Amino acid sequence: MIAVEAALQRHGAPIYARRHIIHNRIVVDRLRERGVRFVEEVDEVPPGAVVVYSAHGVAPSVRIESESRELTVVDATCPLVNKVHREVQSLVGRGYEVLLLGHQGHEEVDGVAGEAPDRVHVVWSPEEIRDVAVSDAAKVGWVSQTTLSVDEVFLRVNWIRQRFPALQDPPSDDICFATQNRQAAVRAIAPRCDVVLVVGSETSSNAQRLVEVALESGAAQAHLLESARNLRSAWLDDAGTVGVTSGASTPDYLVQELLAALAAQGWDDVEQVTVASENLTFSLPRELAANASPDAEALRRHSEPQTSP
C-alpha cells in the first residue's frame, strides 16, 4: 500500500494496479478514490502509463507484456514472494520439476507457477499429491505459497516425501513471517477465549486461516469481519473473554476501530499478548526509492499485538 501511495505522490493520478494490491477491500476502495485504477491484466493499461504489480507477484509473461506496452512498472512484489520465484528458477535450472503447495487460482500461485508452467505442478489436496505425474521421481522439489499454515504445509510435505523420497527441500522456509507470527499468537490466545475476532477481508487467505486456527486451538467461536461495522453483538453474548487479531494485510487503524467499538460495549480491559517481534525492514521498490519522502524510505513490518479485551 505504501508503494502505491509513493507512486501516486511521484507520478500523480491515474496510476494502474494489476489486480488488488493487497487482499483488503477497504484499502482497495480508498486507493480507488485517490485515483488508482485496478485492472485484471496489463493489456487493459494504456500504453506508456504507470502500472503497479501487487505484493502477490507476477509471472514472467506479465513483465514481458508490460515491456512491450512501454509501461512504467512499479514492482511492489513482496520480497518473500520474490524468494519463492527464485527458488523455482533455481530448481528448474537444475533439471527439477517443482510441486508448488498452494491454492489454484490464487494470484501468488499463478505468478510463481508462471515461472515454468510445464515444470511446476500446483498441489494441495491429498488426491492432487497422489495423482501428480512427474517425469523423474528423483528430480522433484517443493516450494509453497507464502500465506499458508506452517503445520498444513509440512503435513503435505510428508505426504509428498512418501511418494518421492528424494524430494528436494527449498533452502529456507517460504511461509511469510507475518503469517506465521499471527497464527502462533492465535494459538496462544484461543484456549483462553470464548470468541476470537479476526479483522480482515474474505479475499485474504491468511485472514481466513486465522479463523480456522482459532477454532482448532480451542476458541468456542471465531469470526472474520472486515471492520468494526461488521461486529455483531450476538457474538459476544455470554462471552467472558474476547480475542482480537488481524490478517497480515489489515491496516492497524481497522484493528483500533474494532477495539474502540468493543470498549464502547464494555470490553475495555485489554491485555496485549505478544509472541514475536517483527523488525525486518523492506525497502521501497527501486523505481520509487530515489525520490521517496523521508517517511516512506522503508516499509516496516511490525507485529500486530494480539489482544484479549
Summarize pLDDT for 149-196 with one digit per residue, the tens.
888 899 999 999 999 999 999 987 777 777 788 888 999 999 999 999
- Is the omega angle on the peptide bond into residue 79 within 30 degrees of 0, that is, cis? no
Q: Is the pLDDT of residue 204 over 50?
A: yes
* Distance between first and last Cα of the chain: 29
Q: Which residues, in sequence order, are CB contacts of 170 under 8 Å at separation 6+?
A: 84, 87, 141, 142, 143
Mind listing the domains of the chain with CATH numbers?
2-78 (3.40.50.11270), 80-163 (3.40.1010.20), 177-307 (3.40.1010.20)
pLDDT for the residue 2: 79
* Alpha-carbon torsion angle 54, 56, 30, 11, nearest 10: -10
Closest CA to 24 of 184, 227, 230: 227
Q: Is the pLDDT of residue 102 over 60?
A: yes
User: What does DSSP say about strands 306-307 and 272-273: parallel, antiparallel, or unpaired?
Assistant: antiparallel
Q: Is the pLDDT of residue 248 over 90?
A: no
For residue 138, give the C-alpha cell: 528423483
Summarize pLDDT for 72-89 with one digit per residue, the tens.
999 999 888 999 999 999
How confident is the model over 62-75, as a mean pLDDT?
Answer: 96
Per the prediction, the chain carries an average pLDDT of 88
Summarize pLDDT for 220-229 with one digit per residue, the tens.
999 999 999 9
> Which amino acids are annotated catalytic?
108
Decide: pTM greater than 0.85.
no
| Rounded Cα distance, 74 and 42, in Å | 13
* Alpha-carbon torsion angle 300, 102, 187, 278, nearest 10: -10
Name the band, by pLDDT with cuts 50, 70 and 90, for residue 299. Answer: very low
pLDDT for the residue 309: 46
How confident is the model over 94-121, as a mean pLDDT?
Answer: 96
Lowest mean pLDDT among 17-21, 112-116, 196-200, 288-292: 288-292
Name the band, by pLDDT with cuts 50, 70 and 90, for residue 277. Answer: low
